[in-house]
Amino acid sequence: MGRFIARRLMQLVPTLFGLSILLFIWPRQLPGGPETALLGDRGTPEQLVLIRQSLGLDEPLIVQYGKFLERLARFDLGTSISTRRPVLTEFADRFPATVELTVTAMIIAIGLGIPLGYLAARHRGSILDQLSVGWSLLGVCVPIFFLGYVLKAVGAENLGWFPSTGRQDPTIDATHVTGFYVLDGLLTQEWDASLDALWHLVLPGLTLASIPLAAIVRITRASVIEVLGTEHVRTAEAKGLTDAVLRRRHVLRNAMLPVSTTIGLMTGTLLSGAVLTETVFAFAGIGAFLAQAISELDYPVLMGFILFIALIYVLVNLVVDVSYGLIDPRIRVR
């Protein structure tokens, strides 16, 4: 197992290396280059020369790239143009919010998706099956920000069950230790703060869960149908195993492989979706920050964000690959 993980980690190196080259070239392709991006339209020619020197743009490309890599290795992503703070600090402040949101969405999607997909496969043609198939088609067709507005209008404004924006009620005097508001409340035993943060997560979480939910229901259903048709399941049924044992030991475990692949691939969708969801619900995570950076053309933030997200995406998929080995021991050997 250790060797398997080590080999997968080694495979990361060329991917990350290529990505670093892309990110190195990218700001050079911007209209006017990074110096104009930093200065905006207000820069005088003298300022441009100064900033070129301070950015090291007068040095040979290979030296520049070396320095770029060195900065990356130190996680120095530069300074945000709009807030004048280091990009990494900005991310660190906002990242917990995004993690809370995406994890909530993933819990909703997995928690609903796998049972729904399983039941739909077990009772093919039933109303439940048709509803799940219907949702799995419709779910990917509804623009996520539109769904967000609808949920907000219904759940927050019409029914008033849930808060419409933010991460926590500002009137609650909560102590923040980790930045994960739900966790903070548990750590400091401020249960009301934790509950309130959780309450704020419901609508954005449901919004963001819509697409992964559709995908997970679909894949689970298809995969379970396939496994149900295999001979080992028929044998297991014939020897009189109870439904629960059959489900756990013979069907779900075999059906989980494609599902876990989908879950890994959904990370990208989730992080993209977080940009839209956080904007709709004024949820102060890195997604909303990115939306703001786009409108202000804050390139260091955009660049740092892409690197950051790509890294997360690659790491999550690494975890998924490793989990294959846990689900199916045969893969570990190869």
Partner 1 sequence: MSVLTRKADRIDRLADQHGLSLWQEALRRLRRSPPAIIGAVIVVLFVVIALVGPLLVPHDPLSQAWRGEISEARGAFPGPRAENWLGVDHLGRDEFSRLIVGARQTLIVGVVSTLLGLAVGVLIGGIAGAAAGLGGRAGRFLDSFIMRIIDMLLAVPSLLLAVSVAAVLGQSLATVMIAIGLVSVPIFARLLRGAMLAQAESEYVTAAVALGVPQWKIAWSHLLPNSVGPVIVQATLTLATAIIEAAALSFLGLGNADAAIPEWGVMLADAQRYLSVRPEWAIYPSVGIIVIALGFTLLGESMREALDPKLRR
Interface ranges with partner 1 (CB under 8 A): 14-15, 18-19, 22, 26, 29-31, 137-138, 140-146, 149, 153, 267-269, 271-273, 275-276, 279, 290-291, 294-295, 297, 299, 302, 305-306, 309-310, 313-314
- What's the closest the beta carbon of residue 276 comes to partner 1, in angstroms? 6
The answer to whether the Cα torsion of 173, 282, 138, 214 is positive or negative is negative
Residue closer to partner 1 by CB (options 78, 185) is 78
Distance CA 319, CA 53 (A): 42
Residue 106 corresponds to which tokens in the numbers above? 């993933």
Residue closer to partner 1 by CB (options 146, 161) is 146
- What's the closest the beta carbon of residue 22 comes to partner 1, in angstroms? 7
- What's the closest the beta carbon of residue 194 comes to partner 1, in angstroms? 30
Q: 112 near 60, Cβ under 8 Å? A: no
Q: Which of 283, 95, 117, 109 is nearest to 206 (CA)?
A: 109
- What's the closest the beta carbon of residue 73 comes to partner 1, in angstroms? 19
Residue closer to partner 1 by CB (options 78, 273) is 273
- What's the closest the beta carbon of residue 188 comes to partner 1, in angstroms? 34
Residue closer to partner 1 by CB (options 70, 226) is 226
Which DSSP helix (H) or strand (E) runs through 184?
helix 181-187
DSSP-derived secondary structure for 37-53: HHHGGG--HHHHHHHHH
Q: What is the torsion angle, in degrees rounded to the nearest 10, for the CA atoms of residue 169, residue 173, residue 179 and residue 183?
A: -90
Residue closer to partner 1 by CB (options 112, 225) is 225
Distance CA 59, CA 67 (A): 10
Q: Which of 34, 246, 189, 204 is nearest to 106 (CA)?
A: 204
- What's the closest the beta carbon of residue 53 comes to partner 1, in angstroms? 24
- What's the closest the beta carbon of residue 6 comes to partner 1, in angstroms? 19
Q: What is the torsion angle, in degrees rounded to the nearest 10, for the CA atoms of residue 112, residue 115, residue 118 and residue 119?
A: -100
Residue closer to partner 1 by CB (options 203, 290) is 290
Residue closer to partner 1 by CB (options 195, 294) is 294
CA-based max dimension of the chain: 85
